[in-house]
Structure 1
Amino acid sequence: MFKKLSRTAVSAAALTAAAAAMISPTTASAASAPLDSARIATHFDLAKGQTPENIALAPGGNAYVTFAAARQIAELTRSGATRILATLPAPSDGGVHTPVLGFALTTGIVRAHDGTLYVLYATGTSDLTGLWRLRPGGQPQRIAALPATGLPNGLALDARTRTLYITDSVLGAIWSVPTSGGTPTAWSTAPELASTGFLGANGLKIHNGAVWATNLDKGTVLRIPVLRGGRAGQVQTRATGLPGIDDFAFTGHGNRILATLNGTSQVALVQPDGTHSTVLTAADGLQNPTSIALRGNTAYILSAAYLTAKDPNLALAHLNR
């Protein structure tokens, strides 16, 4: 599987080139750094396709991740152990028709209060691409089909309305699906979600009555209000100039976020007014970071090493609020 992943480097190089051509966020001074004490907590096995794509935190200290190239869902324990919970079925063609990337991959993951995991899977085939559910102790089951021509990527759960939202990085859309499964609805197809040739809408969160998303190609953070009846409002661009932005996490009840910048191996702090600064870099062990989550004052940052091909890992850092 990793050989298939290596062949994606040619396509992914476009991301690196784009990132290098743009100005990176300014670097925060050490005295005011919102993240410090960064350390690598877990190293993953690249040869086994353990390229961590997304993370969901659970009460008690455990975390759940998707290993993109291995098509796996894994549990990371507080003691540092990695336990594979499920491997999704391989497509009959090996995933070579997966849009843009050319390999089947697991992407977004969220955890419901009852421990149920919801995971996205992109294969380029109509029988497997879509939203999958894994109940505690059960087997993975696809509960909603998504277009094989797309690349479902970011996933967010609105527990209040029991609705899952999904970014499609190729089709430039956000889908909505009930937690019970069924036919997806194209919740938003606004032009701000579209790619410019590689990957568009990417990271996704529900926050303060709105759906927030990133656009990797355009380097933007977007806010879409949820209107009465659950309809999508007008897209608001909240930040620009963030090349290769992937996942993000809010630092509290306000609109300040921490965002992973994949191609440049950085984490940026984005203020509510859109200004931003670099708070972690490759010097902190980041290797093409794909996902970030917060538990209390601890930031969990996954690196997939898609381009560096060296050390996929989980880094921990302390958040100075």
Structure 2
Amino acid sequence: MRTRLLALAITAGIGLTTASPSNAATSRTAVHFDLAKGQQPENIALAPDGTAYVTFAAARQVAAISPKGMIRILATLPAPADGGAPALGFALTTGIVRTTDGTLYFLYASGDPATTGLYRLRPGRNPHRIAALPANGLPNGLAYDEPAKTFYLTDSVLGSISTVPLSGGTARTWSYAPELAAAGFLGANGIKVRHGAIWATNLDRGTLLRIPIRQGRPGPVQVKATGLAGIDDIAFTGNRDDQVIAALNAPNKVVRIDTDGRAVTLLTAGLQNPTSVAVRGRTLYVLSAAYLTAKDPNLILATIGARHA
């Protein structure tokens, strides 16, 4: 994994075109995770009380992080007998979503047909797989369309977006658009549902994509921003427009992308290969997995300006 990301870091150093941090956010490291225990946070979902639910990729875990920084492990997925997810070589928990009733849904990429899939985790219960996913793929980003009661998920190896109903069942491929394909390592990555469209990132291509949802089917892919080497997951700044905040993994940056596709650096301090971001009001949550730096996986809290909220 580190070798792969090193190659990505070299590419990022050559190709990244973001503006200087003139709109930088003030930040602090809220939680330091334990690298030796595999606590490399991959994705995040927020609860109304400020609890952050995260997936610890290498540990194959789902955890709750209290507003005071206390870590509680909610589930640990079984390790595969051998191997792991394609392209990475190890099993990992990836995307996570929390629905309004407090239920967590998350992805597990193990390389094993018996365990790779979308899981449901109700409070106080054990996780249960509700949809099997291709073991030769890497299910990565997860988003939920509440009105449609449908999950959308990316596969970074297969270069696809699939859907699964809230009740579980068969996963169906929604898009195999060429813009989702990998270009050497991993393709489609982060994903969100926003104003009648799917927004997704492509790690290899450094792109931010928008795909309209038209009567449940994908419309033409729109490339909203380019030159974002190492782009991982994203969040939106508020309800008024489509400004995006994105984690750039190998470059160790968090950027804001305006509606014209221009990226401005918001944060660099303390970042250790940031994987995902979340926004609540003026607070920005940033997870760092330290996949490449191998130093300090962490959760950073930043205050962003009122115009970003």
- Please confirm whether the aligned pair reaches a TM-score higher than 0.5, indicating the same fold: yes
Q: In structure 2, what is the equivalent of residue 265 of structure 1?
A: 252
SS at 1:26's partner residue? coil
SS at 2:173's partner residue? strand
Q: In structure 1, what is the equivalent of residue 297 of structure 2?
A: 312
- The code of the aligned residue for 2:59 comes to A
- Asked if the contact 1:126–1:148 (Cα under 8 Å) also holds between the matched residues in 2, the reply is yes
- The code of the aligned residue for 1:18 comes to T
Q: How big is each residue's C-alpha offset from its partner over 1:154-207, in whole Å with a ceiling of 9 and x where there is no partner?
A: 000011111000000000000000011111010011000001010100000000
- For residues 142 and 7 of structure 2, the distance between their equivalents in structure 1, rounded to whole angstroms, comes to 24
- For residues 218 and 10 of structure 1, the distance between their equivalents in structure 2, rounded to whole angstroms, comes to 18
Question: Quick check: 1:218 aligned with 2:205?
Answer: yes
Q: 1:226 Cα shift?
A: 0.5
TM-score between both structures, scaled by the size of structure 2: 0.97
- The code of the aligned residue for 1:137 comes to G
SS at 1:132's partner residue? strand
Identity of aligned residues (%): 62
User: Which of 62, 75, 79 is residue 90 of structure 1 equivalent to?
Assistant: 79
User: Which of 191, 207, 213 is residue 178 of structure 2 equivalent to?
Assistant: 191
Question: Quick check: 1:66 aligned with 2:52?
Answer: no
- Asked if the contact 1:14–1:198 (Cα under 8 Å) also holds between the matched residues in 2, the reply is no
Q: In structure 2, what is the equivalent of residue 232 of structure 1?
A: 218
Q: In structure 1, what is the equivalent of residue 114 of structure 2?
A: 127
Q: In structure 2, what is the equivalent of residue 5 of structure 1?
A: none
Q: How big is each residue's C-alpha offset from its partner over 1:270-316, in whole Å with a ceiling of 9 and x where there is no partner?
A: 010101111111xx100000000001110000000000000000001
- Asked if the contact 2:286–2:300 (Cα under 8 Å) also holds between the matched residues in 1, the reply is yes
Q: 1:80 Cα shift?
A: 1.1
- For residues 117 and 23 of structure 1, the distance between their equivalents in structure 2, rounded to whole angstroms, comes to 35
User: Which of 2, 8, 20 is residue 9 of structure 1 equivalent to?
Assistant: 2
Question: Quick check: 1:248 aligned with 2:234?
Answer: yes
Structure 1 unmatched runs, 5+? 1-7
Q: In structure 1, what is the equivalent of residue 278 of structure 2?
A: 293
Q: In structure 1, what is the equivalent of residue 15 of structure 2?
A: 22
User: How many corresponding residue pairs?
Assistant: 305
Q: How big is each residue's C-alpha offset from its partner over 1:194-250, in whole Å with a ceiling of 9 and x where there is no partner?
A: 01010100000000110000001000000000001x111111000000000001111
TM-score between both structures, scaled by the size of structure 1: 0.94
Q: In structure 2, what is the equivalent of residue 3 of structure 1?
A: none
Q: How big is each residue's C-alpha offset from its partner over 1:57-96, in whole Å with a ceiling of 9 and x where there is no partner?
A: 0011111000000000000011110000010111111xx2
Q: 1:97 Cα shift?
A: 3.8
- For residues 84 and 50 of structure 2, the distance between their equivalents in structure 1, rounded to whole angstroms, comes to 37
CA RMSD of aligned residues (A): 0.9
